[in-house]
Structure 1
Amino acid sequence: MARRSWALGLLAASGCIYPSSDPTGVELSWRFVEHNEVDGEEAALPRTCQGAATEQIAADITDLDDPLRAGTFRFDCGTGYQSALDLQIQASDAFVRLDPGPYQLDLRAVDDANDAPVNELVEEREVEVESRRITTQTWIIRRAPVTWSLELLGLERCDALATTLRYASPETDLADYSGLADDPPPVYRQALRSDRGLGLAGEAITCDPELAGTHRFEGIDRGEYVLELDMDGVVCTVLVDLRPREGTSSVIDLANLPCGG
């Protein structure tokens, strides 16, 4: 596959320029890793572009020797996305043609390519573009987490309750997922608890009316999840969409569950 290349000039929209036989510039590659480490660093799994709610990566590049030479270069997220294995065996297709010298390079994650001004600055770094070779830059991106507010109602209707937060689509959202089609989706975090101590790993608790009201869960990775509710042996699932940057609020009435529990 031909590497995509852009040249930095006074105008960012300079068209598509394929490298000459001896190009210089920066080759960008990125991958996503979850932010939440409540279960330990090893529990922060690699995410796909979809799983990280990212459609596009924007690179703001400024020539530090001549700051008037600056531009923003946008790539579909998949153009430069590389797993750890990809990085070892192939080049990224995200390439910006640059003269040798120092540059400021800021990377932004764009949720919706049709609304590019809404983005998240994920990393800033100075890059020295070398002569007679392509300079490679790898970015491990951890997108900012969100807060989920869960309001529980109707606890007087049950004796025991277990709440479990699972990935909704691990086969498309997790880069290294290898589960079988019949396997239940993995639990998001074992040790994650609300500000009031409610867990989300399936531990059965007594339906104490004092648990009613709002529970706040901080630091959840953006994405789609399924909340599994086991109320006295009746299991019901509710989709939880945590892709929005501002987080999400959910209201669960145990007396009126959508599965008839």
Structure 2
Amino acid sequence: MTTEALIEVHDDAAALATAVAGELLARLADAQSADRVPHVVLTGGTIADAVHAELARLGAASDVDWTRVALWWGDERFVAAGSEDRNAGQARAAFIDALGVPAEHVHEVPSTDDVATAEEAAERYADALAEHGADGFEVLMLGVGPDGHVASLFPGFPQLDEQERSVVAVHDSPKPPPDRVTLTFPTLARARSTWFLVSGEGKAEAVARALSPAATPAETPASVPRGREETTWFLDRPAASHL
């Protein structure tokens, strides 16, 4: 059962990243202690990179068995596998390879090297979710754009209304690259804990809108995702400055 969203405010982006990484390591260890293989949804962006760097720094000495962790992405840019725009590539370089997460547990969205269209990539990722992630996610991490988007669910886009498919293609993204693949709102709702990671004054207005009782999904998609058991906004002081 979901409860009211929690808000954690940290002094700066570095403190935020350390706090998120520490909390994630604790959650993963707790899940494994309860005989669950935790499935985690990663996000991209600057603050995610900082979190990943902290996971690399702290993860090897933690109680987490990295061979029993499964990783997913909330969205991905439909580009070549080696592109610097790929969220998965950034995460691999930052911590996944160093901590030894098995390849079969790293569920990447297919790239342009694998399939011809973003629609095909979405279908393949939906199949992978159905086969390996049907029980849902331990932790879902989301960034928030200045326009209030989450994953690749943008204000006013038709993907906001999708209720049947778990994964969809996105074209003409307001921020490059234009073609993307994203989890839909019903899929994002399958997390025990949903964490928003937001840093910087440029995101402050979007944060305030998302947390307002007057928020609408069409204008502020970040107002929609909620964890089944917990929803937490991890903010630095600039990002929280409009609350």
Which has the larger helix fraction? 2
Which TM-score bucket, shorter chain as reference? Answer: under 0.3
Q: TM-score, normalised by structure 1?
A: 0.20
Which has the larger strand fraction? 1
Of the two, which has the highest radius of gyration?
A: 1
Q: Which has the higher contact order (CA 8 A, sep 6+)?
A: 2
Q: TM-score, normalised by structure 2?
A: 0.21
